[in-house]
Amino acid sequence: MPIYTALQASDPDVYATVIGEMRREQNGIELIASENYVSPAVLEALGSPFTNKYSEGFPGKRYYGGQEFTDKVENLAIDRAKKLFRCDHANVQPSSGAGANVAAYFAWMEPGDCVLGMDLSHGGHLTHGAPVSHMSKLFRFVRYKMKDVETGAIDYDEMREVAKREKPKIILAGFSAYPRELDYAAFKSIADEVGALAMADMAHIAGMIAAGVLKNPFDFGFHMMTTTTHKTLRGPRGAMILTRGTVGNPLKAPEKTIENLPTLVDRSIFPGLQGGPHMHQTAAIAVALGEASTPAFKVYAQQILKNAKHMAKKLMDSGCKLVTNGTDNHLMVVDCVTSWNMP
């Protein structure tokens, strides 16, 4: 247990909130699917001297001096992500999942272009085109839905018709509140049919993909994947954009082709969206990715699925109605209206 002696001496008020939060997490049963507990090693990296360093640019191509260790730690994170997710490139600089999605859109599209994503009311995310988001003012979003909330089955026939009609530049497979596994082959087939880029937002299930207990969209030919680094990946708050293609010089604008996608993404992050990355966050991401490469992490991910399925069954046995009547991942969506007659 961290002592935080310097913090206690310097600022007792903040120290009290840190200790209070620590005890709250230790003593409570946390059921928020987007939260997790980082390891002591990740926590130490997050509080390391890397927090002092400005590192605009990319390894070997920075705008400040003194980068010998920042380059090493960022390359560690990149290499570990590439190995875990079987991709050609990883940008580990996004400060959040929402920012990663925005950068991914701008890497491939122009304002006014169309994205086909999951409807928010059927499990999608704000950045997948919710009208209240700023993204809906920049890009045109159309939506696919479940055809059967009892099973969670996506209406792929409707998705194909919408894609043919609307001609999206990106078809997005992803969710924030959908407890079933997607048919990535169907997504890729529809994307190929209309000439769209196949993108996956795997923020919630990235840890289980890394461990090999859920399917990897790249195995189905997807071009790009975004994810947060917390949630099931058990790292710090942050994000990554993973791509297939050839890594070029991020300081030069390439032609907009699938092969150049890694470079387009890098330039969309910097200088397009962010300045200097948070290097303490990058160091902690590297540690988390190292942990996710271990046999123990695979056992952990397998246990997540076992626990979730067992919990879902017990909830339903007790009269609780779950949307889709179960789960394929760590998510359970409770139908409160049916379960408890809530208005």
Q: Per the residue annotation, which of 15, 54, 119, 147 is the catalytic one?
A: 54
Q: Which of 231, 234, 244, 267 is catalytic?
A: 231
> Given 237, 298, 309, 321, which residue is catalytic?
237
Catalytic one of 56, 113, 183, 259: 56
127 with 277: CB under 8 angstroms?
A: no
CA distance 234 to 240: 14
Give CA–CA dist 88/304, Å, rounded. 28
Task: For residue 54, indicate whether it is catalytic.
Answer: yes
201 in active site: yes
Residue 56 known to be catalytic: yes
Residues ≥6 apart with Cβ < 8 Å to 183: 154, 156
Smallest Cα–Cα separation from 57: which of 91, 88, 97? 91
**Beta carbons of 118 and 174 less than 8 angstroms apart:** yes
Which amino acid appears at position 1 of this protein?
M
List of residues 6+ apart from 145 with CB closer than 8 A? 118, 119, 121, 122, 154, 155, 158
Strand runs labelled E in the chain = 57-58, 61-62, 89-91, 114-118, 140-144, 146-148, 153-154, 170-174, 197-201, 224-228, 239-243
Active site residue 231: yes
Give Cα 104 distance to the centre of its chain. Answer: 12
C-alpha distance from residue 217 to each of 15, 115, 173, 182, 255 (Å) = 43, 18, 9, 9, 25
Q: Catalytic one among 74, 201, 266, 291?
A: 201
Query: CA–CA separation, 102 vs 127, rounded Å?
Result: 8
Q: Which residue in 227, 228, 232, 327 is the catalytic one? A: 228
List residues with catalytic annotation.
54, 56, 201, 228, 231, 237
